[in-house]
Amino acid sequence: MQSWKRAVVAGSAFASAIMFLKKKRAGGVLFAGVALATLASEYPQEFARVRRDLPDYLEKGTKLLVLASYIGERLAAANERDWELPERVR
């Protein structure tokens, strides 16, 4: 990768992070897009592969979130059962 492209990617990524930290989402997305577009121009095959595999990544992520939600519900239910007092203690 040429040095000017590295500078564009690094500068855009840094600017994007600063914008997100300052709660300016539009600017953060804009600079992140510049960094990704620069990387995509340098590595088109890798980005094509990621685009092709994106549905699989989303499906696996969704399954992970469903599992985390289920575990959270089970922990909340177990916590409620542990804190209920028996009739004779009340």
pLDDT digits 0-9 by tens, 19-74: 999 999 999 999 999 999 999 999 999 989 988 999 999 999 999 999 999 999 99
Q: Domain span at residue 12?
A: 1-42
CA distance 37 to 47: 10
Number of folded domains in the chain? 2
Domain co-membership, 28 together with 10 = yes
Domain co-membership, 37 together with 71 = no
Paired tokens of 2:
């040429």
Per-residue model confidence (pLDDT) at position 87: 65
Residue 90 lies inside a defined structural domain of this protein:
no
Q: Are 31 and 15 in contact (CB under 8 A)?
A: yes
More confident: 69 or 89: 69
Domain co-membership, 38 together with 57 = no
Residue 86 scores a pLDDT above 80: no
Residue 12 lies inside a defined structural domain of this protein:
yes
Q: Are 9 and 39 in contact (CB under 8 A)?
A: yes
Domain co-membership, 80 together with 50 = yes
Domain co-membership, 7 together with 38 = yes
